[in-house]
Amino acid sequence: MMETVRKRGAKAAAQVSDQAARVREIFARFAARDPHPQGELDYLNSYTLLVAVVLSAQATDAGVNRATKGLFAVADTPEKMLALGEDAVREKIKTIGLFRAKAKNVVELSRQLIARFDSQVPRTLEDLQSLPGVGRKTANVVLNIAFGEKTIAVDTHLFRVSNRIPLATGKTPEAVEKGLLAIVPDEYLLHAHHWLILHGRYICKARKPACPLCLIADLCLWPEKTGC
């Protein structure tokens, strides 16, 4: 019986080792192709980054960039945004989905930044999430891009890719986030969510994934991949 237990333990250890090697190879390939991936939202400073990410909920980055070009030209600080006022902000972002609620959130978060954080974008997840319109994903994006924190921001693309390949699986974005933090090698963690988001946006798409163009097709375990 002890021999059986030892064999099972050895098999389990081998499986863990194989999975770790697979994950490392996936991110090594992403890094080799694109060593310094960038987010696709335009911004001028940490404050405008925060505003842009808040505006990007249920909207395309390209659409947000078109709207914020004029907005950030006149309001690139919390004080300027507050002075601009909700009506004017709403007018400048009216091409974005949910623009009324977003305009209200942007003005209110600007007021709170002035009142609570000396006009500075806070550097903790908890403080960021206390601001209007800022959820966990938004907070993680800001921490990662503005402050170089090794966070995982789980959007719909990353959630799909991580569950599909699979890397870390989970029924909620937070579960996937925590799973990825546990398995992604530290040297790849800073850019991990950028690679996965871009992979999901342009290759591993929801309806018609471009499997023949996939850099990691041989490492993907998704049973429905095609043309590989």
Q: Which residues are annotated as a binding site?
A: 204, 211, 214, 220
Distance from the Cα of residue 53 to its chain's centroid:
10
Whose CA is closest to 140, among 124, 118, 161, 119?
A: 124
Of 92, 155, 178, 208, the active-site residue reads 155
Clarify whether 137 is annotated catalytic: yes
Query: Which DSSP symbol is given to 198?
Result: H
Whose CA is closest to 185, among 10, 25, 4, 13?
A: 25
226's torsion region: left (phi>0), alpha (psi -120 to 50) or beta? beta
**Quick count: other Cβ atoms within 10 Å of Cβ 108?**
15
Of 137, 171, 186, 208, the active-site residue reads 137
* Residue ranges at the known binding site for [4Fe-4S] cluster: 204, 211, 214, 220
Query: Active-site residue numbers?
Result: 137, 155
